[in-house]
Structure 1
């Protein structure tokens, strides 16, 4: 016996009044920052490491806005003391991200790199301070992620999408640490002169600032660690959206009205998303551009797509076991 699937109540307008206010307002501030950084890029034509000096602030505004908008909703799913603790942790994350963003803007005004900077003791101190902020932000997010494991959501597909999305986002955020290692060129420079203007890089196999994808700036000549970092971080949006999309499709496709079928598909999507992040990380670590995959990368991608397609088909076609009463 199938059941009628209603649109997820977790996103209705009335419920938005219970969302975490500091992160919701900060998401709105990031929307404003997005517009301002676009204007800044049009007015201020300076470049830094081959990219517009305001490009990084634009990308952080878009990403941060999505991230904290989602966390505003996630905190509202908790109840009682758990919600209070998660709200405090999320507020701490907002404050730390805001401090990092202000530091980045300060460096952009000066025309200096905000990340990996070692041009002067002051620049290095700012970068170290930002590292502390990011570590604190990650720990605050860890607290929120752990608390989400105790969330009660009626729709089981959304229930699992929230958990797997939050865990993958936490892992994706942690992948930012892969960029802080000195590159071989920087190590050689430090060994020869005792100093390097940069310590760490986005790119692998090539210097930062080379040819890249429009606006995103992701390297088209070498590996780029920003890509798996970005993809992992935004599992927080992708997987809940998958669950909501399945709930909407269930109003038209009877098979998806089975909660167990939608849960299977969410788990398939979660495993596939994790596999994609791992594949892109492997590709970047080998110094390979995203847009020019090698034979081994294409073979691995084909296996991943085939496995996920088979799992998705099985999720829909295999009968659901009915509980014995």
Structure 2
């Protein structure tokens, strides 16, 4: 093999080592910058509340930056002459390698080129690539350790340092339990809706979806209370419509000759219905073969349960929100 080819192969070894170290150095530096920015945002979040998902977006952005760098880095090429100059500088070879490579690309006496190339190879013989381009992990790694310690201290600082109150109340602490409650009740009533309680089932579906939106933080505080109000109005309208329908059917039983219900019992049913004692109405109706009316009272009971749960959830949320706001003041 010619001395020129041998020198080229040797330079390729150094080139691979240099590219690896350059990528490693850039990744470590990028990691240092990422940790520094994360530490700064973590401190900032202690004083001014940031969106709860900010760490996810932050690291996704950093990951995209690293990917773009690696793609661009693969497009860059370095010349062997520049690499040879770096090897001379790192190993103190007084421009032997760079001169040998430069003279090979110029019209110089063949004997001179061979002499310079052999001289360069002689000085490179037994030299490891790590001698010219050594690892410096500890030099940069110690800063990574310092930043990780800083992030750990800031993360746990709220347990032993008094930070000023934030401008925004912690969303999950206030609403997550309420969202779970609405989801569970909605799902329970949806399953009950398989027994043909159509109107209540549709509103139960709305309640379950509202619970999900609250639980997974898809709504802001104002949107949550607006949704509470809107669903409450729909439930109230359904209650009124169903109660009116059932009352009309019970009144119609009075006009039937030889009806299934005695007049006294019918009066008790109507009185209980007007007092919104739906459980009492249900208990009385179970004694008679009136499936249509039994279905409607079941619907009323489901709607009443939703109305009560939603009202109590709204009141708890409002009270807790007021307490947290007063504590911040």
For the aligned pair, the TM-score class normalised by the smaller chain equals: under 0.3
| Higher share of residues assigned helix | 2
What TM-score results when the alignment is normalised by the length of structure 1?
Answer: 0.25
Larger radius of gyration: 2
